[in-house]
Amino acid sequence: MTTKRKSNAWWEQPGKAHGRLMMAARLACAIACTVTLALALALLLAHPAGARAKAAPLSATPVSGVITSDTVWTLAGSPYQLTDHVIVAQGVTLTIQAGVVVSGTTDRGIKVDGRLVAIGASSQPITFTSQAGTAGGQWDGLAFRPGSSGVLRHGVLRYGGTYNGTAIASLSVDGATGLTLDHFVIRDGAAPGDVSHGLALLGGAVLSSSALTVSGHSGAGVHVENARLTLADSQVASNATGVSLAAGAVVTLTGSAIQNNTIGVDCADAADRPSLSGNSFAANATALRLWAENLGPTTLTANSFSGTAASIEFRGGALLQDTTLPAASGHTYRLRVCESIGGQFGGEPVLR
């Protein structure tokens, strides 16, 4: 009689073999998970608490050439990088959405023959800047040409400087009469070796602006020549000249702060008749530089002066009408060149 041998080896017992294989697989998995967690913990401890990895830079949208149909630059497509000049053709509108960044390099800028509408928000301004973002004159900036129009609101323009045939400026308005400019900043346009303005109005341009801030230019913060400007509730600071008036300038300046410029307001042409009312002139080397002919009954009204070597410096000239200068404390008047001020004969104008 043959007796079957009872097997005690696990490999000879199919049920037990399967169970032990499963246990071995689970053990290997547990070991792998433990190693993974240990590595993750080591990486976490290697960085300071709260540290975050830098987000990958957004890819830029390249733009160049003539825009011949209405176009929108969206926040989703930002930043927009000028690879050549962008020209907005006549009859065409380029709209730039809030929060968009536009950047350019040397000999790259936006020239408007049609209409540019760039309306940001106080929490989401539109930024026009150079790609390097370090110094003035690194890109051409914005130029509104004759017949153009637009709206610039809640935005920043920096590091610009384009030559428009008359002057170098971050924002050039030549012959345009339909531009709205408010709650806008123009800064850091002082190109090395160049006399660069922030805003230049030329060629019959007409502009009414408020809440404008202009600073950091080697020329004038605002330059007006053969053009008309009404500027209110603004700040023009830390430029070589705050506001400069050349031939044919008609300027009304009210309720604004003119600060820390070498010259606050400079009238280069004796025929100009500025109207300056309710402004604060502070810490300018010279607050006003005028010709006697510039003075009139409404030239200076309720302005304040502080921290200046000279409140008013006269270039010279001939007084054409009776004029009374402010007599408040802190005023200093300096005569630079005296050709003829006041009259020697009865009936001529009197300077008081």
d(CA 82, CA 346): 65
Helix or strand holding residue 198 (H, E): strand 196-202
d(CA 254, CA 301): 9
d(CA 80, CA 265): 36
For residue 22, what are its two tokens? Answer: 């499963």
d(CA 260, CA 215): 10
* Residues 227 and 207 sit within 8 Å (Cβ to Cβ): yes
- In the prediction, which pLDDT does 119 show? 98
Which residues contact residue 89 at a Cβ distance below 8 angstroms, ignoring those fewer than 6 apart?
66, 67, 68, 113, 114
- In the prediction, which pLDDT does 68 show? 98
**278-284-288 Cα angle (round to 5):** 60
Whether the per-residue pLDDT at 318 is higher than 90: the answer is no
> 182 - beta bridge partners?
153, 210
- In the prediction, which pLDDT does 195 show? 81
Whether the per-residue pLDDT at 47 is higher than 80: the answer is no
Please count the residues of the chain.
352
Whether the per-residue pLDDT at 25 is higher than 80: the answer is no
For residue 326, what are its two tokens? Answer: 């402010």
Whether the per-residue pLDDT at 62 is higher than 90: the answer is yes
* Residues 287 and 309 sit within 8 Å (Cβ to Cβ): no
- In the prediction, which pLDDT does 168 show? 87
Q: Which residue has the higher pLDDT, 219 or 312?
A: 219
pTM over 0.75: yes
- In the prediction, which pLDDT does 270 show? 84
Q: Residue with structure tokens 């009954």? A: 297
For residue 341, give the amino acid letter: I
Confidence of residue 24 (pLDDT cuts 50, 70, 90): low
Long-range contacts of 239-248 (CB under 8 A, 24+ apart): 239/198, 239/214, 239/215, 240/195, 241/265, 241/266, 242/284, 244/197, 244/219, 244/220, 244/268, 245/269, 245/272, 245/274, 247/271, 247/272, 248/272
Q: Residue with structure tokens 């300018």? A: 284
* Residues 169 and 140 sit within 8 Å (Cβ to Cβ): no
Q: Which residue has the higher pLDDT, 20 or 143?
A: 143
- In the prediction, which pLDDT does 44 show? 40
- In the prediction, which pLDDT does 259 show? 97
For residue 272, what are its two tokens? Answer: 């100009």
For residue 69, what are its two tokens? Answer: 């149909």
- In the prediction, which pLDDT does 79 show? 97
Q: Which residue has the higher pLDDT, 120 or 308?
A: 120
> Rg of the chain over CA atoms, in angstroms?
34
Whether the per-residue pLDDT at 341 is higher than 50: the answer is no
| Average pLDDT over the chain, rounded to an integer | 81
Residue ranges covered by each domain of the chain: 12-45, 61-335
Nearest alpha-carbon partner for 287 in 250, 324, 236, 327: 236
The 10 Å Cβ neighbour count of residue 260 is 17
d(CA 154, CA 287): 29
- In the prediction, which pLDDT does 334 show? 65
pLDDT, one tens digit per residue, over 158-216 is: 999 867 666 789 999 999 999 999 999 999 987 666 789 999 999 999 999 999 999 99
Architecture per CATH, domain 61-335, reads as 3 Solenoid (2.160)
The highest-confidence range among 18-22, 43-47, 196-200, by mean pLDDT, is 196-200
Confidence of residue 286 (pLDDT cuts 50, 70, 90): very high
The highest-confidence range among 7-16, 17-26, 92-101, 306-315, by mean pLDDT, is 92-101
DSSP string, 16-63: HHHHHHHHHHHHHHHHHHHHHHHHHHHHHHTS-TT--PPPPPPPPEEE
- In the prediction, which pLDDT does 32 show? 52
Q: Which residue has the higher pLDDT, 139 or 25?
A: 139
Of the listed ranges 23-32, 168-177, 255-264, 315-324, the one predicted with least confidence? 23-32
For residue 165, what are its two tokens? Answer: 């045939």
* Residues 130 and 159 sit within 8 Å (Cβ to Cβ): yes
- In the prediction, which pLDDT does 192 show? 66
For residue 1, what are its two tokens? Answer: 């009689």
- In the prediction, which pLDDT does 31 show? 54
- In the prediction, which pLDDT does 296 show? 74
Confidence of residue 54 (pLDDT cuts 50, 70, 90): very low
- In the prediction, which pLDDT does 330 show? 58
d(CA 185, CA 33): 56
- In the prediction, which pLDDT does 37 show? 45
For residue 218, what are its two tokens? Answer: 């080697």
Confidence of residue 30 (pLDDT cuts 50, 70, 90): low
Whether the per-residue pLDDT at 27 is higher than 80: the answer is no
